[in-house]
Amino acid sequence: MKVIKSIPALKSAVRRWKSKNKTIGFVPTMGYLHEGHLSLVRASKKKADVTVVSIFVNPTQFGPKEDFKTYPRDFERDAGLLEKEGIAVLFYPDAEEMYPGGYKTYVEVHDLQDKLCGRSRPGHFRGVSTVVLKLFNIVRPDYAFFGQKDAQQAIILRRMARDLDLDVRVEVMPIVREADGLAMSSRNTYLGPDERKAGLSLSRSLRQAKMRIDAGERRLAVILSAMKEMIAAEPLARIDYIEAVDMDTLEPVKEISEGTLIALAVFIGKTRLIDNMIV
């Protein structure tokens, strides 16, 4: 596996692959890889001739009071995992490479970026859209892979690709969970043992909602209030939001139907966890 840190070096590798008509799969990450990331890598390897993975903890998607400085990082471990997966190229730029002095250009996906997580993380999706568009321009992938756990991110990036006529197919892969149901996330490492247990309330509340829906319940208020009750019973949990929204517009729905996205964000102590399901 080749580790490339400079944009021109990666662009010239991309030119070589394109000249040989090779398809490119791309998995952008912020590192501290887990099985969720590796499922994206495997999906890309199945679909494309060459797979590029990027590791870049993107400063522009963190708010001033968020965890940019403490975000978990372990390059050696990540590189070892990717090597084992047989990845061609790992792109590992630093912040100066991605945002050189005088950097001024940002991408915004209006409306969608302000809903759900966007309300408590202003500027977050502007940072995500900006870095992902830059990465797409550098890697020029045919396919890019994202996880359903970050459902709003995937919806925003799909919209960006459509609105800006990008030649990339945004593929969204299922949430990967720990054996006990906790959605995998690099931030799970912040959780102490009691917080880890309290964090299970997110997936538990979604499972319970699914059971009610499967049994024919369609009243939104009944489903959402049962979820809220279950999470509020955890002393370490503080609900940021629990919402049922339309998958395209992220507008709240009046009634649950097929394709409704039920998404939630909950603080467990200081750690903000997210989870979701599509009905």
Tokens of 261: 């996205």
Q: At its nearest, how many Å lie between ligand PAF and the CB of residue 184?
A: 12
Q: Give phi and psi for 124, each to the nearest 5.
A: -60, -50
**Closer residue to ligand PAF, CB minimum distance, 28 or 199:** 28
Residue with smaller CB distance to ligand PAF, 61 or 203:
61
**Number of residues in contact with ligand PAF, rule: CB under 6 A?**
10
> Looking at beta carbons only, is 29 or 201 nearer to ligand PAF?
29
Distance CA 263, CA 241 (A): 8
Contacts of 46 (CB under 8 A, 6+ apart): none
In the set 61, 152, 203, 276, which binds ligand PAF (CB under 6 A)?
Answer: 61
Residue placing its CB nearer to ligand PAF in the complex, 29 or 260: 29
Nearer to ligand PAF, 51 or 61 (CB): 61
Catalytic residue flag (residue 37): yes
Does 51 contact ligand PAF by CB under 6 A?
no
CA atoms of 276 and 183, how far apart (whole Å)? 9
Q: Considering the complex, what minimum distance in angstroms separates the CB of residue 187 from ligand PAF? A: 10
CA of residue 198 relative to chain centroid, distance: 22
Quote the crossing angle between the two packed helices 7-19 and 124-139, to the nearest 10°: 50
Binding residues for ligand PAF restricted to 125-154, rule: CB under 6 A: 128, 131-132, 150, 153
Cα–Cα distance for residue pair 158/103, rounded to 1 Å = 25
Minimum distance of ligand PAF from residue 144's CB (angstroms): 9
- Candidates 26-34, 66-74, 247-255, 263-271 — which segment interacts with ligand PAF by CB under 6 A? 26-34
Of 28, 93, 141, 199, the one binding ligand PAF by CB under 6 A: 28
Catalytic residue positions? 37
Chain residues binding ligand PAF by CB under 6 A are 28-30, 58, 61, 128, 131-132, 150, 153
